Structure 1
Amino acid sequence: MSDSEEAVTAEEQPSTVPAGIAAARAALADVPAEPGVPKLDPILNATGVRRAFGGLVAVDVAHLEVQRGAITALIGPNGAGKTTFFNLLTGFDRPNRGEWVFDGRRADRMRSYQVARAGMVRTFQLTKALTRMTVMDNMLIGAADQVGEGFWAGLVHPLWKRQEAANREKALVLLERFKLIDKRDDYAGELSGGQRKLLEMARALMLNPRMVMLDEPMAGVNPALKQSLLEHIKDLREEGMTVLFVEHDMDMVHEIADWVAVMAAGELITEGTPDQISADRRVIDAYLGAHHDAAER
């Protein structure tokens, strides 16, 4: 076979790269590795976000844009302000100043439930499963705009019967997907730590989010469930969702992240691809100390 024939044959072969990964890579291909760098199509755009507790400045992020449809990791040493930044963006805390726009809507004045309804949902480092409710009830409580939650409407069964049936069907599909279907009638408090992480992620999807924010999704998870969680996060990207997650495990970051933002002492110090970040002196200094090389000698 000639070189030209081989080239044609190669072009005819379908790409083995999933569509979500290909789109994310294309969107970030020419983005320079700099803190606060503009993105091609940001779903989240935050500027001048500051949160101080007395004299301690926990977060002071000048600018951050999160690319739509990509998986972005937010990393940094303990105490860098990552979870506080998450809390601010999702309405669980209030900044001293700053503003951010989510999917074209000003979100810094929204309360947490309004942020979730707008399409940005989150999970927590310490899971928030309602332990004395069943797994199914945990799922159903995550559905939005439930007619039956109103006092008068709740008294009229036909008004909410069809909606609840649809919510239950959706919950069953998600529980099957996250391999929790056999646990649907168990109390959430009976689940393992890893299963609670899966439940929290599944419940978040009851809202049909456009962006999912995961705070240390792998913390306290056994290796078998860790791989399952990794695959579920990848699936979110393939379904068109944006993912922003906090993580310390760089192996995981390399495996699933399209882009990495690095915080230290409350500030965003750099951004880039996983490979760029791993070789960045600012990141090495932030994790190990600026004088770690001298200390070793």
Structure 2
Amino acid sequence: MSDKEKAGKAAAGAALAGVPAEPGAPKADAILSATGVRRAFGGLVAVDVEHVEIQRGTITALIGPNGAGKTTFFNLLTGFDRPSRGSWDFDGRRADRMRSFQVARAGMVRTFQLTKALTRMSVLDNMLIGAADQVGERMWAGLVPRLWRGQEAANRERALVLLERFKLIDKREHYAGELSGGQRKLLEMARALMLEPKMIMLDEPMAGVNPALKQSLLEHIKDLREDGMTVLFVEHDMDMVHEIADWVAVMAAGQLITEGTPDQISADQRVIDAYLGAHHDAAQH
């Protein structure tokens, strides 16, 4: 573990010190705070979260069994779906009425379980479309190159720096569709950073990634915290959760059932019941 990583983990631990292991626990400096968020599809309630706060500058894992409502909750917070009711603030601003592009511009960017790379565009072009407020995309400004050439050059330089960081620089002229599943995950994470977000939300970043790239992805996620970003990720791999998460929030049947450190969560009977069924132990006797 590098000195930078040690410092980042220590700072996150200090920020979460004393936070009770209970659902909706208040945080000292929450970058995201959601209250009464409910999403129903007809008679099916997919999400019903009474309250949750995400501590700034930490890596928080959102876990739970299949069908717990984790991805739906992500979709709501990032403007890709609308709640039946509820509200949330991001970095001091009301965010529940924002559309997805407004959420991203505000500094909360997400990736998807199934990557959204534009397969018939080059890796570099995929990066460039991730840049915000591009002057050249405006109807009249696009006709005046001097208004956008400087910004385009800066965006290209930032894209190349990120591709170097994520070890994709040699693939920059390749079609994104030629990348492996793990490389597409790296590309999506790198593209998200083009917006210089305050918070990045990763939906199952390890899904479909081969073991050779898994450790690389883990290191990149830890680097996000060390660079001052907040990370919230959905994951099923508890080894990964233990390795990188500072805090864990657990959902089951659409509700937030508990929170805590990875060690606290692993020993929590509510979590064991949620994954294995409340009658699991009884069935063994």
Q: Which amino acid aligns with 1:78?
A: N
- 1:275 maps to which of 263, 267, 270: 263
Take 1:183 and 1:189, find their aligned partners in 2: how far apart are those partners?
Answer: 11
- Give the C-alpha shift of residue 19 in structure 1: 2.0
Matched with 1:187 is 175
Q: Does 1:55 align with 2:61?
A: no
- 2:239 maps to which of 248, 251, 254: 251
- Give the C-alpha shift of residue 18 in structure 1: 2.4
- 1:174 maps to which of 135, 142, 162: 162
Deviations 1:91-126 (CA, angstroms, capped at 9, x unpaired): 000000000000000000000000000000000000
Take 2:225 and 2:10, find their aligned partners in 1: how far apart are those partners?
Answer: 10
Matched with 2:283 is 295
Take 2:3 and 2:78, find their aligned partners in 1: how far apart are those partners?
Answer: 37
Residues 123, 172 of structure 2: 8 Å contact kept: yes
Cα distance change on mapping 1:40 and 1:162 into 2, 3 Å: same
Aligned length: 284
Cα distance change on mapping 1:74 and 1:146 into 2, 3 Å: same
Which blocks of at least 5 consecutive residues in structure 1 are unaligned? 1-13
Q: Does 1:75 align with 2:97?
A: no
Residues 135, 185 of structure 1: 8 Å contact kept: yes
What TM-score, normalized by structure 1, do the two folds share?
Answer: 0.94
Q: Does 1:233 align with 2:221?
A: yes
Take 2:7 and 2:228, find their aligned partners in 1: how far apart are those partners?
Answer: 9
Residues 46, 65 of structure 1: 8 Å contact kept: yes
Q: Secondary structure at the match of 2:149?
A: helix
- Give the C-alpha shift of residue 15 in structure 1: 6.8
Q: Does 1:31 align with 2:31?
A: no
- Give the C-alpha shift of residue 294 in structure 1: 1.3
- Give the C-alpha shift of residue 20 in structure 1: 1.5
Residues 18, 238 of structure 1: 8 Å contact kept: no
Matched with 1:118 is 106
- Give the C-alpha shift of residue 86 in structure 1: 0.0
Cα distance change on mapping 1:147 and 1:19 into 2, 3 Å: same
Q: Does 1:146 align with 2:134?
A: yes
RMSD after superposition: 1.1
What TM-score, normalized by structure 2, do the two folds share?
Answer: 0.98
Take 1:214 and 1:37, find their aligned partners in 2: how far apart are those partners?
Answer: 22
Radius of gyration: which is bigger? 1
Residues 250, 256 of structure 2: 8 Å contact kept: yes
Residues 125, 219 of structure 1: 8 Å contact kept: yes
Take 1:296 and 1:129, find their aligned partners in 2: how far apart are those partners?
Answer: 46
Q: Secondary structure at the match of 2:140?
A: helix
Q: Secondary structure at the match of 1:18?
A: helix
Residues 4, 226 of structure 2: 8 Å contact kept: no
Take 1:224 and 1:275, find their aligned partners in 2: how far apart are those partners?
Answer: 27
Which blocks of at least 5 consecutive residues in structure 2 are unaligned? none
Indicate the percent of aligned positions where both proteins have the same amino acid: 86
Take 1:243 and 1:150, find their aligned partners in 2: how far apart are those partners?
Answer: 32
- For residues 197-216 of structure 1, the aligned pairs below 5 Å read 197-216=185-204
Take 1:79 and 1:256, find their aligned partners in 2: how far apart are those partners?
Answer: 24
Take 2:102 and 2:8, find their aligned partners in 1: how far apart are those partners?
Answer: 27
Take 1:17 and 1:106, find their aligned partners in 2: how far apart are those partners?
Answer: 32
- Give the C-alpha shift of residue 17 in structure 1: 5.8
Q: Secondary structure at the match of 1:50?
A: strand
- Give the C-alpha shift of residue 254 in structure 1: 0.2
Take 2:89 and 2:7, find their aligned partners in 1: how far apart are those partners?
Answer: 26
Q: Secondary structure at the match of 2:60?
A: strand
Matched with 2:30 is 42
Matched with 1:163 is 151
Deviations 1:19-70 (CA, angstroms, capped at 9, x unpaired): 2211100011111100000001000000000000000000000000000000
Q: Which amino acid aligns with 1:164?
A: E
- Give the C-alpha shift of residue 151 in structure 1: 1.0
